[in-house]
Structure 1
């Protein structure tokens, strides 16, 4: 029986040339895997989006493909930060269902690990996806894998969890993955806004923008983002200049960003923000990004107010949207409650698995 051959995919100069055929085939593999996992392709990159990712100046993105009889049946995407966290590599594995169980995922992962070692990357992070229906079907009495951080564990019975564990990866954390059908009704949004304003008695003013932060708020916005990243253990640099570069990169790739921030009227400073992203060349799905509320302003329903305002802005500018997705740490009870109030329902869990080659035997 023929064995699959793993090779690095050449990124074409453009998507219209004949040389783009393999790239487009690899993108379609990923799309089919998302459909098989989640029942739709909302979480799949479009060719244009992945092409833009391969030209990100802040991250080196490499694609490996597994071929059998000339056909691409699997792929590994390797994302390597270029400015901060330069020991790190994120690996995404996609293998078509027809090729499952043939060792193709293991072969791709081994090739990806060999590649990142050659680039002096010592830490690899792999993501696994677990739809809610699969988790419900797992044997609750069976052995489970505890995450190093957070309260969600995963059943070893899960094929994806078993694959990552057998490959020497440790479960770093697992997050709840939720979906919300759009549009949301104006009555619901109005009621929730009134609730939030009653809680904090009008102590905040909302500011909103699309794609580019107004100069008036840029320094405050960067301060909030940097503080949030440091709380998550990321101590990399972040400045207004880098914000502008990131916004320009998003513009060039076709991505859109919808942001709502809150100003504390007493101090005149921004104390909270939430953002939503839309992929380039895709009009039906959006993704909830981070929501940050300074600790001194917790307990005042400020997170609820800015998320509701941002959903209103989102629907105003992008009425064709049909779904939005969100990821939350399981211990973030307040934000999970806010999402549930907005109509989010659990779609499953995503696991982040880590291997440190400095520690691996």
Structure 2
């Protein structure tokens, strides 16, 4: 491994950034061929758009002057500051050469220096389109002491078949069950009248959603933070759509779902968080919110074909809602952690 050089990835080191982009695209095309390869502008914007409440530590591995791998540590500066998220990738033509081990050693050392006690990571395996596809990250993580805290199921829906009598019947039934609620939508920015409720519900995600054995603690989100993250999304060229449920009689925030459309991607989009407050469950709000947001998506991007979502494998209610709406399994993701 003496011929492997590790360097910090700086946004204006153009040759290094070009190498990182090339490697990242090759890795995505090899490991997840059914999904779109991220375009160069989107990757560049990840490096240059500032985030006030999150700090990133990015490292690239070079061999013979060529970028052959990278690691990114993501550190939330307000919530769950005891942990970092780790993304580690090695070019498929250079796996088995010790590059991943070098990057991981460096990342864990950085995390310890910052004072972090837990590293989190994610690996995909068990692909429905290709059951025999090898998932080397799963073996690599286990070898280096990462344990499974929870498994989540990645599902996709083909929006080509989105409108039909079955979906309308489901939506009508959900509306009848939740007639005491109004559903409002947003695009790009959350209306001022909804943002306090959004912050409240966002803070409940890690306490109300299944988290398995993952080392999460309660979170809180301020209006300032959400507005800052909203601006970062816009500056990266992303479009943020959402549907928000509010109780008519009390005005209480009852739930929301959100979708992200990434820069340059006209076929695939991704659901972020979906939550219904425990005090307002049992009214089919989850199904109603998702249908409303999908219909809003079709107005913004009529050519959009696939929408992606993730649920813990123990979240039976949301899984049943997604299955009803036509989502089908793409793969399983292991949520991993290692106590440092």
2:136 alignment partner, one of 128, 134, 159: 159
CA 192–90 in structure 1, closer or farther in 2 if over 3 Å, else same: same
Deviations 1:146-201 (A, max 9, x none): xxxxxxxxxxx96322211111112111111111223443224423211212334x
For residue 323 of structure 2, what is the aligned residue in structure 1? 340
Structure 2 runs not aligned, ≥5 long: 210-215
**CA distance in 1 between partners of 2:68 and 2:228 (Å):** 36
The answer as to 2:285 corresponding to 1:302 is yes
Q: 3-state DSSP class of the match of 2:175? A: helix
1:190 alignment partner, one of 149, 157, 168: 168
1:4 Cα offset (Å): 2.4
Aligned length: 331
**CA distance in 2 between partners of 1:6 and 1:134 (Å):** 35
1:5 Cα offset (Å): 2.2
**Contact conserved, 1:76 with 1:94, CA < 8 A, in 2?**
yes
**Contact conserved, 2:120 with 2:335, CA < 8 A, in 1?**
yes
Structure 1 runs not aligned, ≥5 long: 13-18, 139-156
1:208 alignment partner, one of 166, 185, 190: 185
For residue 33 of structure 2, what is the aligned residue in structure 1? 39
Alignment of 1:57-76 (within 5 A): 57-76=52-71
C-alpha RMSD over aligned residues:
2.4
For residue 48 of structure 1, what is the aligned residue in structure 2? 41
Q: Flag the structure with more relative contact order, 1 or 2, with Cα contacts below 8 A and sequence separation at least 6.
A: 2
1:329 Cα offset (Å): 0.5
1:289 Cα offset (Å): 1.1
1:134 Cα offset (Å): 8.9
1:53 Cα offset (Å): 3.2
Q: 3-state DSSP class of the match of 1:186? A: coil
TM-score if structure 1 supplies the norm length?
Answer: 0.84
CA 92–213 in structure 1, closer or farther in 2 if over 3 Å, else same: same
**CA distance in 2 between partners of 1:185 and 1:322 (Å):** 10
Q: 3-state DSSP class of the match of 2:93? A: helix
For residue 153 of structure 1, what is the aligned residue in structure 2? none
For residue 99 of structure 2, what is the aligned residue in structure 1? 104
TM-score if structure 2 supplies the norm length?
Answer: 0.89
**CA distance in 2 between partners of 1:348 and 1:237 (Å):** 31
**CA distance in 1 between partners of 2:76 and 2:226 (Å):** 16
For residue 173 of structure 1, what is the aligned residue in structure 2? 150
**Contact conserved, 1:5 with 1:66, CA < 8 A, in 2?**
yes
**CA distance in 1 between partners of 2:304 and 2:232 (Å):** 23
